[in-house]
Amino acid sequence: MKDGPTNDGKKTKRKERMRFASADQVAQLAGVSRSAVSRTFTPGASVAPATRERVQKAAEELGYHVNDLARGVLANQSRLVGIVATRPEVGFRAHLAAALAKALIKRGSIPILINTGQTEDELLAAQKILIGHRAEATIILSGSPPASFVDIAHRNGQPLVVIGRTEPDADHVSAGNAEASRNAAAAFFDKGYRRLAVAASQSATSSILEREDAFLAAAEEFGASVSVGRGIDSDYDSGIDAARQLFSRGERPDAVYCANDLIAFGLMDHVRKTLGLRIPEDVDVIGFDDVPGAAWLSYRLTTFRQDPVVMAQRAVDLVERRLASPDLPPAYERVIPELIFRDSFTP
Amino acid sequence: MKDGPTNDGKKTKRKERMRFASADQVAQLAGVSRSAVSRTFTPGASVAPATRERVQKAAEELGYHVNDLARGVLANQSRLVGIVATRPEVGFRAHLAAALAKALIKRGSIPILINTGQTEDELLAAQKILIGHRAEATIILSGSPPASFVDIAHRNGQPLVVIGRTEPDADHVSAGNAEASRNAAAAFFDKGYRRLAVAASQSATSSILEREDAFLAAAEEFGASVSVGRGIDSDYDSGIDAARQLFSRGERPDAVYCANDLIAFGLMDHVRKTLGLRIPEDVDVIGFDDVPGAAWLSYRLTTFRQDPVVMAQRAVDLVERRLASPDLPPAYERVIPELIFRDSFTP
DNA sequence: CCTCCCGTTGCATCGCCGTGCAACCTGGTT
DNA sequence: AACCAGGTTGCACGGCGATGCAACGGGAGG
């Protein structure tokens, strides 16, 4: 049974906390070599049924589970994937993060959630953590990664997928912001509205910017007038600020396109509760994202639906593609958002 | 410079993907031994400034970062911490998950987000993943871990912290659900209301249950009548269902206590938009959680504030405490929620 | 009875990194 | 000139698990 100086208090000195059972312990209990244990838990390896059974019994007894970390070190793949997000509890990002976590687990990867600020330093710190842990890939949610970020990921051969931003140098998934926004402008115009407005924000992510820009361009192209209101962030308060700006100037707009649903909620509340106007009778509103609140009776918001599950899946697909063939040119997955009609705007 | 058979294409055979630079490569480039590299990146180790500089320069050039995974294998600590949550994108849980991720990163840990169902099988699968990766601790958000879960974590010496549930065998953090709910009943009663109601849900987590039970008990103790409405989940739709139930019976309630804010939103919307009643003139409402929507003009909900940042910090503190002394008896951190007065109820 | 073959199994090595120990420089002192 | 103290550095080992290779076993066939 080979009873060498294996675990008799001599080697356990280093760190106290060695609670998890190791393959060595299982091997000893089963009276086999560590190789046999390894092979038992490696699909396709050659082990006699009797041995496998002995090993499994011993493993059961000790509560042993293969150390995936060590396995990863050896195979040079960690199965860790980073999700980098700013304020991942808010709005659509929350749905995206949750969907990503689920899709990654399903694929056998381990999602690491990094909740970080947007400054370059913070993002680079997040990246450092991920590279230090040899994450297989990084998925960024609607931040704007600095160029160095893309560069470092590339130099380390780490796939990088950006969601919600058009990033020419990296794989990315994003909604058809430009088309959708153009459609929104067209829908307003077709209904006869000529005084349009868009509510966005100052500290805008690129999705928000794209929506604003595309709406402005389309509206001007159609020959409608457009005013712009911007709050600070891209949330409810920002919608209130935008409403204040848009409705304090001379003639009020006929219809407002909001860069996301939270902004729309703030704007609608201000317009209704503070200004006493009616939606859709006095003003029409279209939002973007279709978060659950858009269906609530208080809002009944007409908005572009982005399916977080679909987007997450596309992102994971891009990761897989990139892992399989690292040298392909950057790919772009576009998810076309569908306009969901509720009460705040109907054609 | 010792130029042995180290990396001349012979050893790189195993796996193609060995993109990350290793300490060996850095050592070679800097013309030092691997130990020197290791020491350069180990705080407090003894390295000559000149050597350190050479190493750092070489590391910079190769984009090297210490492999925390391998370091973890050696030190027998992974710094990985699992966050296990069902529907982590919803309501208060989203805030909790985000706050936890931030607090863990701050502590130097790596948060793994596992988005799982509530069935025993799914939870155990999640645990298997975490144990396989030698996660240092598991934090469960408002699920009810089966007994085997607690047991397995314990047997593997893995700290387990439960948030939002009273779990006698494990460390846990939870809000003072009973006190708060009692206070809600008292506040309604003091205002002269005698027909009370509580809106909860069928598939309730234990926080929701505690709130319902404590409110019922207190109301009965005061001598008020109480009716109960329950939707399916604990979300907006559930609030609508509960409202349907509560307001279809004979006399309608004077005031409703909702087990969380989402339920309150659904209930308020149904009461106002569908039934045409006014809040607070006809019915008062108190919620629980103080999610951002509670402050929105459409709701202006009086509700108990739970601070996700505080709760997350307490949970992380419990993890640390348990890591430091594994054999302490289970601890319980209680966070007392504060009632935030807005328009849906005032004393 | 010997030989061959195939399935098992153990050994040794690999890929990571941290660290105790001993050898190696310095420069200052007797 | 020999010696000592102190700081540096390299070596070798330890802790994981996977795996090529060689040895070992037993049954089948000559």
- The CATH H-level (homologous superfamily) assignment of domain B177-307 is Response regulator (3.40.50.2300)
Residue B305: is its pLDDT beyond 50?
yes
If pLDDT is split at 50, 70 and 90, which confidence band does B279 have? very high
CB of B18 within 7 Å of some strand C atom: yes
Strand partners, A213: none
Report pLDDT for B2: 34
pLDDT, tens digit (0-9, with 9 covering 90-100), for A288-300: 999 999 999 999 9
pLDDT, tens digit (0-9, with 9 covering 90-100), for A184-200: 999 999 999 999 999 99
d(CA B104, CA B112): 10
d(CA A259, CA A275): 21
d(CA A124, CA A134): 15
Which residues, other chains included, contact A27 with Cβ-Cβ below 8 Å and sequence gap of 6+? A33, A34, A36, A37, A55, A58
Residue that wins the pLDDT comparison between A17 and B67: B67
How far is Cα of residue A169 from the mean position of the Cα atoms in its chain? Answer: 18
E-strand stretches of B29-177 = 80-85, 110-115, 137-141, 160-163, 171-175
Residue A16: is its pLDDT beyond 70?
no
Which CATH number is A77-175+309-336 given?
3.40.50.2300
Residue B1: is its pLDDT beyond 80?
no
Nucleotide with C1' nearest the B34 CA: D10
Residue A10: is its pLDDT beyond 50?
no
If pLDDT is split at 50, 70 and 90, which confidence band does A70 have? confident
pLDDT, tens digit (0-9, with 9 covering 90-100), for A253-272: 999 999 999 999 999 999 99
DSSP symbol at B14: S
Chain A residue with minimal CA distance to B67? A132
**How long is the CA A17 to C1' C8 vector, in angstroms?**
35
Do the Cβ atoms of B96 and B87 come closer than 8 Å? no
Which CATH number is B78-175+308-336 given?
3.40.50.2300
Phi-psi region of A108 (alpha: psi -120 to 50; beta: other; left: phi over 0): left
d(CA B124, CA B131): 10
Do the Cβ atoms of B99 and B105 come closer than 8 Å? no
The pLDDT of A111-121, averaged and rounded, is: 92
What DSSP element (H or E) covers B314?
helix B308-324
**How long is the CA A294 to C1' D4 vector, in angstroms?**
80
Q: What is the C-alpha end-to-end distance of chain B, expressed in Å? A: 81
* Domain layout of chain B by residue ranges: 11-66, 78-175+308-336, 177-307
**Which of helix, strand or coil describes residue B238?**
helix
Cβ–Cβ of B19/A72 closer than 8 Å?
Answer: no
Do the Cβ atoms of B341 and B299 come closer than 8 Å? no
Closest CA to B67 of A313, A42, A60, A76: A76
Residue A339: is its pLDDT beyond 50?
yes
Which residues, other chains included, contact A324 with Cβ-Cβ below 8 Å and sequence gap of 6+? none
Cβ-based neighbour number of residue B16 at 10 Å: 9
Closest CA to B285 of B184, B210, B204: B184
The answer to whether domain B78-175+308-336 and domain B177-307 are alike in fold is yes
Question: Whole-prediction pTM value?
Answer: 0.89
Distance from the B190 Cα atom to the nearest Cα atom in chain A, whole angstroms:
30
Residue B308: is its pLDDT beyond 50?
yes
CB of A36 within 7 Å of some strand D atom: no
- In the chain, the amino acid numbered B66 is V
**How long is the CA B46 to C1' D1 vector, in angstroms?**
31
What DSSP element (H or E) covers B199?
strand B195-201
The pLDDT of A201-205, averaged and rounded, is: 83
CB of B33 within 7 Å of some strand C atom: no
Positions of chain C reached by protein Cβ under 7 A: 7-12, 14-20
d(CA B221, CA B237): 30
- In the chain, the amino acid numbered A103 is A
Which residues, other chains included, contact A182 with Cβ-Cβ below 8 Å and sequence gap of 6+? A214, A215, A217, A218
Residues in B touching A149 (Cβ below 8 Å): none
If you average pLDDT over every residue of chain A, what do you get?
A: 88
Distance from the A264 Cα atom to the nearest Cα atom in chain B, whole angstroms:
12
Residue A144: is its pLDDT beyond 70?
yes
If pLDDT is split at 50, 70 and 90, which confidence band does A2 have? very low
Closest CA to B92 of B265, B282, B288, B291: B291
Residue A15: is its pLDDT beyond 60?
no
d(CA A152, CA B187): 58
Do the Cβ atoms of B181 and B173 come closer than 8 Å? no
Do the Cβ atoms of A123 and A143 come closer than 8 Å? yes
Report pLDDT for B286: 98
pLDDT, tens digit (0-9, with 9 covering 90-100), for B182-203: 999 999 999 999 999 999 999 8
Gyration radius from chain A CA atoms: 27
Residues in B touching A15 (Cβ below 8 Å): 75-77
**What percentage of chain B reaches a pLDDT higher than 70?**
94
Identify the CATH assignment for A11-66 out of 1.10.260.40, 1.20.840.10, 1.10.3720.10, 1.10.1060.10: 1.10.260.40
Report pLDDT for B147: 86
d(CA B320, CA B297): 41
Question: A296 is written with which tokens?
Answer: 């609530």
Question: A96 is written with which tokens?
Answer: 């995206």
Residue that wins the pLDDT comparison between A78 and A75: A78
Question: B205 is written with which tokens?
Answer: 């987590």
d(CA B121, CA B114): 14
